[in-house]
Amino acid sequence: MSNNDEVFENVPRKSLPIPVARSKLISALVNEMTASREKMDGKRVVQLSELGKYSDEELKQIIPLILPKSKISLKDGYVIGKSAMTGESFRLFSIPSPALTVFNMINGINTIDTISQMVARETGWEMNHSLAFARGVFLSLVVAGLCIPKE
C-alpha cells in the first residue's frame, strides 16, 4: 500500500497478485478447484485475481466487504491493516486521505458505485475520477488480503 493517493487512481487493469499464507495454501487450492467446478456448472464465480480486469460497469456493481478477521488500527497518522489471509500488516493510507471515506463505506452493503458517488460529493471530483480512486482503494485492499467482494 502507499500513502500516495495518486497510486489509487492509477491501478492498472490486469490480474491481481493475491497473497496466500503457506499455512492456508491447501485450503486456497481446494477453493480454487471448487470455484472452477462451479464456473463449469454455470454459476457466477468471482476470482479475486481477475477483479483487476473488470470493466468499470462490472466493478460498479460489486459490494465490497472487509474480511471479518482483519484487524484495523491507527498509528502515526496512518490507517494500518493486518490481513486475515496472511497475517501481514500494511500501512494502508494516511488518515486525511479520501481513501478513508472509501474504507469507511466498505460495509457489505454499499456498491463501488455508491462509494464512488460519496467520494465525488466529499472531494468535488468528477465521477470518473472518484470511481478510479474507489476502484484503486478496493483493489489495493483485496491485494492486501483485507477485502473481498460480497457474493
- DSSP readout, the chain? --S-HHHHHT--SS-------GGGHHHHHHHHHHHHHHHHTT-----GGGGGG--HHHHHT--EEE-TT-EEEEETTEEEEE-TTT--EEEEEETTSTHHHHHHHTTTTS-HHHHHHHHHHHH---HHHHHHHHHHHHHHHHHTTSEEE--
Q: What is the pLDDT of residues 77-100, one digit of tens each?
A: 999 999 887 888 989 999 999 999
Average pLDDT over residues 125-140: 96
What pTM does this model have? 0.80
Per-residue pLDDT, 38: 44
At 31, the pLDDT band (50, 70, 90 cuts) reads very low
Q: What are the sequence ranges of the domains in the chain? A: 5-149
Average pLDDT over residues 38-65: 80
Q: Are 93 and 74 in contact (CB under 8 A)?
A: no
